[in-house]
C-alpha cells in the first residue's frame, strides 16, 4: 500500500557536483551542488542560487568547472556545501586541497576530484520557476585510475557520491546491473 508523503524532492540519486570558479583576484571558490544535470551532449545545467559566491564569480569570469565528487573526498565535498564563500573567505584553503588553472577555460580544476568538466558560461536562465546556469563543456579531464581499458570513465572505479534527498545521506555508485538501451529489449 502506498502512503502520501506530500511535497518531497523525490528524485534519487542526485549527483554530488563541485562547482568552482575564480573570483576577480584569481582566488578559488567552490560549492557543492546536487541539482545539476547534462542538458545537451555538450552542456550542463546547474540549478543554483544567484547569491552563492561561486555563482557570482562564474558570472563575472564567464567560466567554471564541475567536478564529480567521490567517496575518498566526501568530507571536503560536504564542507563545500556547508560553508558559504560569502561568509568564509578562506573556504577552499581550509580543506588543504589544491587547484590548477584549466588549459581550456579561466577556471580552477581541483586536483583531488577524479573527473572535472571545464565549462564556458553559455546561458543564465532566470524564470519565475527556476534559476539555472548553463555551461558549454569544452573539455573533461579525468584521472587515469577511473578509466577503463578503452579510456572511458568507469562508474565503478569512479566511486562517485550520490545524494539522497529523502534522508540527506550520501551513497556511492555500486555494481553494474544491466546495459542501457539493451536491458528492455524483450518488450520490443
Report the 10 Å Cβ neighbour count for 108: 27
Instruction: Work out the pLDDT band at 180, boundaries 50, 70, 90.
Output: very high
Give the chain's domains with CATH numbers.
14-187 (2.30.110.10)
Put residue 94 in one of left, alpha, beta given phi > 0 → left and psi -120 to 50 → alpha: alpha
The percent of residues in the chain predicted with pLDDT above 70, rounded, is 100
Closest among 108, 89, 90 to 99, alpha carbons compared:
108
Closest among 188, 162, 159 to 11, alpha carbons compared:
162
Per-residue confidence (pLDDT) for residue 30, from 0 to 100:
97
Coil, strand, or helix at residue 54?
helix
Q: For residues 108 and 67, is the Cβ–Cβ distance under 8 A? A: no
Instruction: Work out the pLDDT band at 177, boundaries 50, 70, 90.
Output: confident
Per-residue confidence (pLDDT) for residue 137, from 0 to 100:
98
Closest among 182, 180, 162, 188 to 13, alpha carbons compared:
162
The three cell numbers locating residue 118: 571545464
pLDDT above 90 for 8: no
- Indicate the pairing of strand 161-164 with strand 43-46: unpaired
Spatial distance between the Cα atoms of 188 and 174, rounded to a whole number of angstroms: 28
As a whole number, mean pLDDT of residues 48-71 equals 96
Question: pLDDT digit string (tens) for 84-115?
Answer: 999 999 999 999 999 999 999 999 999 999 99
At a CB cut-off of 8 Å and minimum separation 6, what does 86 contact?
A: 51, 52, 53
Per-residue confidence (pLDDT) for residue 69, from 0 to 100:
97
As a whole number, mean pLDDT of residues 156-175 equals 92
Per-residue confidence (pLDDT) for residue 157, from 0 to 100:
95
In sequence order, what E strands does the chain have? 14-15, 17-22, 28-33, 36-40, 43-46, 63-68, 99-101, 108-110, 115-126, 131-142, 161-164, 169-172
Residue 66 carries which DSSP code? E
Per-residue confidence (pLDDT) for residue 138, from 0 to 100:
98
Instruction: Work out the pLDDT band at 10, boundaries 50, 70, 90.
Output: confident
Instruction: Work out the pLDDT band at 176, boundaries 50, 70, 90.
Output: confident
Residue 187 carries which DSSP code? G
Amino acid at each position: 500500500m502506498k502512503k502520501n508523503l506530500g511535497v518531497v524532492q523525490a528524485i534519487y540519486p542526485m549527483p554530488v557536483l563541485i562547482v568552482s570558479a575564480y573570483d576577480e583576484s584569481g582566488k578559488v571558490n567552490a560549492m557543492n551542488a546536487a541539482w545539476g544535470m547534462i542538458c545537451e551532449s555538450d552542456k550542463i545545467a546547474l540549478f543554483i542560487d544567484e547569491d552563492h559566491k561561486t555563482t557570482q564569480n562564474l558570472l563575472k569570469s564567464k567560466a567554471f568547472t564541475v567536478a564529480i565528487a567521490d567517496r575518498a573526498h566526501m568530507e571536503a565535498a560536504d564542507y563545500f556545501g556547508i560553508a558559504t564563500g560569502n561568509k568564509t573567505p578562506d573556504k577552499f584553503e581550509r580543506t588543504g586541497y589544491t587547484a590548477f588553472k584549466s588549459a581550456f577555460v579561466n577556471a580552477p580544476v581541483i586536483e583531488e576530484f577524479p573527473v572535472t568538466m571545464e565549462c564556458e558560461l553559455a546561458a543564465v536562465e532566470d524564470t519565475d520557476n527556476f534559476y539555472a546556469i548553463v555551461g558549454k563543456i569544452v573539455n573533461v579531464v579525468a584521472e587515469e585510475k577511473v578509466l577503463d581499458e578503452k579510456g572511458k570513465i568507469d562508474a565503478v572505479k569512479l566511486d562517485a557520491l550520490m545524494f539522497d534527498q529523502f534522508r540527506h545521506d550520501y551513497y556511492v555508485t555500486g555494481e553494474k546491473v544491466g546495459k542501457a538501451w539493451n536491458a528492455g529489449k524483450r518488450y520490443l
